[in-house]
Chains A and B, each alone.
Chain A
Amino acid sequence: MTQEPRQPDQHGPFGRRTFLRGALTAAALVPLAGPLAACSSPSGGGSGSSSGPKSATNPFGLKDGSSVEAVIFNGGYGYDYVTFATTQVKKQKGFEGVKFKVSPSTQIAQELQPRFAGGNPPDLIDNSGAGIIGFNTIADQLETLDDVFAADNYEGTKIEDTLYPNAKATGTYDGRFVGLNYVMTLYAVWYSASLFEENGWTPPKTWDEALDLGAKAKAKGKHLWVWGKEAATYYRTLAIDSAAKEGGDEVRLALENLEPKAWSHPAIQGVFKVLGEMVKQQMFVPGGAGTQFTAAQAKWSNDQQALLYASGSWIENEMKKATKSGFKMTGFPEMTLTDNPKMPYESLRAAAGEGYIVPTKAKNPAGGKEILRAMLSKQAATNFTKTRLAPTIVKGTIPSDGFGSTALLSQSKMLDAAGSNVFNYQFYDYYGLDADQLVVWNSFLSGHTDVAGLTKGMQEISDKVANDSSVKKLKIT
């Protein structure tokens, strides 16, 4: 009865083909599980902030004997400067027993996503690099850092009074100051002072002068600019900065607020037109859209095929090993369209980078803030500038010899000349638009699209975010 005769199947119930088919179905399901394997499910998690009593020497109530965990982006600046700062903390009275763990990471978003979702993020994070976590996703899960600036540094001065202007603005989202950007970054055009001296060239102040210089470069068999495929948007930054100086705040604000037709502003169009002319006259080293960006940069810093490079001030450190000796890397403010722009020529896009954040759900946020306090004190800040050849947001750490670096010295000079004429904008980092914009810029710089195509492409990327109701917008005034 229940002893039913077996199916007359020579392969048994689990034949080879059935098995093969099953295996294939399972393989086909892999992509579905893929996105999930990469992320982790959310779960609740209480904020277990354990802080002790606060005082002038212990402004955040860090408990002696507690442990602090920091995850630091390990990029151009390394991460040992944070370790240096933790040793400074331990030298303070009452903090001798605090245990620090500083770990490097090159993929902040991928590595920390599960910890944010799981509700146990580290106490301090350097949220930077290609794997940056977009601030629009985490801003409301972060501690405000106003108390760090209000605290005294280890020398007894109020931290706020020791910093370059604008230090707070760059990390403020929706009125909350949550990202402490530590390294002063300014955007400029870079050249080799020795090469220019040899040839009797001077850095151009307007785009017309730049065109002339481009012609002189061609006569010498050189190009004016160079670009790499991952860094084509450096020329977007150059264009925006230049247009913002030319047309004033309205240019910048329209872009920040993703306004329709923002990219059609006459100042932006003026710069685009000159850039288009330069592309047409082959003033860019050809093939950039297929060249890895540091290899492209070496064509400027090592081979001297190109005269100028538009970049942030990290460029010296980044190209340290691929710079011709005696290059004398120096920066100058980005060109303007006319001789009388709305903002003076010396104005700069200067913003602090390397955004340090302290998550609200961290176990010991006071510890994270205490590390920041140490980093903003004289000793750690000077150590950073000296070893990394880049200024921090703390003023007065660069000596007159610039620790032997012409680039650092020129940064210091540009910052001083700009005074309070510094500005910044965040929209492409905040909404994560760089990847989309790269495509448009690579195509423009290769000469495949014209100014109209560039404008249309950039506007479409802006409009897409502006019309997406699921994205939380930033209102900049």
Chain B
Amino acid sequence: MSTASTTSSSGRSGGPPRATVRRRLARWRARLTFDRVSFMLVFLGLPVAIFVVFVLIPVCEALFYSLTDWTGFSSTMNVVGFANFSKLAHDDIFVHAVRNNVLLAVVVPIVTLSMAFAIAVVVTMGGPATGSVRGIRGAGVYRIVSFFPYAVPAIVIGLIWAQVYDPAAGLLNGVLTGAGADRFTDFAWLGEVLSAMPASMFVIIWGSVGFYTVLFIAAIKGLPAEIYEAARLDGAGRFRTAVSITVPLIRDNVQTAYIYLGILALDAFVFMQALNPGGGPDNSTLTMSQYLFTTAFRKGQFGYATAMGVVLAIITLLFATIVFLVNYLTGGRERRIHG
């Protein structure tokens, strides 16, 4: 090309010479075949339009509503600035709900992922020490059984367990008192401050373990068998293999699973609404989303409720950032350099 010196990065004032512009336009036009245009419309234009209409605009609207005193049931509202947010900071019930959510986001992923990882390891490589690396006998059955709870909708899980926890007619107290533990007669699992949160967490974990087991099994099966054979030849036991070989290799999956579970725990609306719609004894299981819901629809304070939603979103983003950061600082970055 004759104007090879004219690079696109030139900061020259006046822009490139007219000839270049013409040539560029021509080339651009030449590339606009029907094929290309229709491809761009369907695969770029449509998703962007959907994203703008259903994500960007609602998010911007939400940000705006959080600055108003909108009741939700009228067509008028006043902008009140950051009043809703300063009110939130002094709302002891909301602060309590944030604490509950943070507790959920810390405990639920750790327990769920540890259990899921343990099951996945046993199912994929807990088998005999001779021959190829494989799972224990009947691995397929365990895999399917552990996935069962995930196939049940969350709301149904919540309702079932609410019945199981019933003080008088519940299965749990029936088994416990039947086994001679009389102090559990009429014990309200969801009605005592000490037990309500652990009992609710157990239900969420029970409902999620199966999915993450399957996720980890898939990840482990994708790893080359030679690595395991080499480890075994070097004398590594099953536990050592799981901790030193498997965990580092499926690191990305663990991180993704952790974030998804954390988001689930920060929301937790469906489970909590089914188990303890009122927020539990002394608000010990109240989540931000439940409080948001009450504030919006029962108290008719949509502006204030939206401010809660904004705070929830910020906390969720913070959580994701922290998980990325921890993963990065604890060695995730080395693999990226080689990757």
B-contacting residues of A (Cβ < 8 Å)?
1-2, 4, 17, 20, 24-39, 41-45, 109-110, 113, 116-119, 131-134, 136-138, 141, 229-230, 285-292, 295, 299, 431-432, 435-436, 438-439, 442-443, 446, 448, 468, 470
Contact = CB atoms under 8 A, between A and B. Distances in A.
A431 B295 CA distance: 11
18 contacts: A25-B317, A33-B54, A35-B292, A36-B58, A39-B296, A117-B74, A132-B298, A141-B74, A285-B186, A286-B167, A288-B191, A290-B187, A290-B191, A438-B278, A439-B283, A443-B193, A443-B282, A446-B192
Contacts of B279: 435, 439
B166 A295 contact: yes
A446 B58 contact: no
Given A31-B309, A289-B281, A470-B87, 13 more contacts: A24-B320, A26-B55, A27-B263, A31-B313, A36-B306, A36-B309, A113-B73, A133-B300, A137-B73, A138-B74, A289-B188, A290-B187, A442-B191
A45 B73 CA distance: 13
B277 A230 contact: yes
A286 B166 CA distance: 12
Given A32-B62, A290-B189, A117 B281 contact: no
Contact of A35 (B55, B62, B73, B190): B62
A424 to B, nearest CB: 20
A442 B196 CA distance: 13
Contacts of A131: 297
B118 interface: no
B239 interface: no
Which 8 pairs show the lowest CB-CB distances between chains A and B?
A290-B188, A289-B191, A287-B167, A137-B300, A290-B191, A32-B313, A35-B309, A287-B186
Nearest to A107: B297
Contacts of A435: 278-279, 294, 298
A25 to B, nearest CB: 7
B61 interface: yes
For chain A, what secondary structure do more than half of its interface residues adopt (helix, strand, loop), or is it mixed?
helix
Contacts of B336: 17
Interface stretch (B2-10, B148-156, B204-212, B229-237): B2-10
B24 interface: yes
B289 interface: yes
B301 A470 contact: yes
B240 interface: no
A24 B259 CA distance: 8
Interface in B297-324: 297-302, 304-306, 308-310, 312-313, 316-317, 319-320
B191 A29 contact: no
B13 interface: no
Contacts of B7: 1
B188 A33 contact: no
A439 B281 contact: yes
B278 A229 contact: yes
B266 interface: yes
Contacts of A34: 267, 289, 309, 312
A287 to B, nearest CB: 3
Contacts of A288: 167, 188, 191
Contacts of B58: 33, 36-37
A103 B71 CA distance: 25
Contacts of B24: 2
Interface string B154-187: 0000000010011111000000000000000011
For chain B, what secondary structure do more than half of its interface residues adopt (helix, strand, loop), or is it mixed?
helix
B107 interface: no
B77 interface: yes
B34 to A, nearest CB: 23
A432 B299 contact: yes
Nearest to A40: B72
Given A290-B189, A442-B191, A28 B300 contact: no
A446 B191 contact: yes
B37 interface: no
A294 B25 CA distance: 74
B49 interface: no
B260 interface: yes
Given A20-B256, A43-B75, A439-B283, A29 B277 contact: no
Contacts of A446: 188, 191-192, 281
A438 B286 CA distance: 13
Contacts of B252: 17, 20
A91 B263 CA distance: 57
A62 to B, nearest CB: 26
Nearest to B317: A28
A286 B309 contact: no
Given A290-B189, A291-B168, A439 B294 contact: no
A14 to B, nearest CB: 12
Nearest to A440: B282
Contacts of B3: 1
A131 B297 CA distance: 7
B71 A32 contact: no
Nearest to A131: B297
B70 interface: yes
A13 to B, nearest CB: 13
B288 to A, nearest CB: 9
B61 A41 contact: yes
Given A32-B313, A109-B297, A287 B73 contact: no
A436 B279 CA distance: 9
Nearest to B27: A2
A136 B259 CA distance: 40
A34 B316 CA distance: 13
B297 A113 contact: yes
A470 B69 contact: yes
A138 B296 CA distance: 13
Contact of A1 (B4, B282, B320): B4
A467 B145 CA distance: 54
A148 to B, nearest CB: 22
Contact of A33 (B55, B93, B259): B55
B8 A1 contact: yes
Nearest to A3: B1
A138 B6 CA distance: 66
Nearest to B314: A32
Contacts of B83: 470
Contacts of B191: 229, 287-291, 442, 446
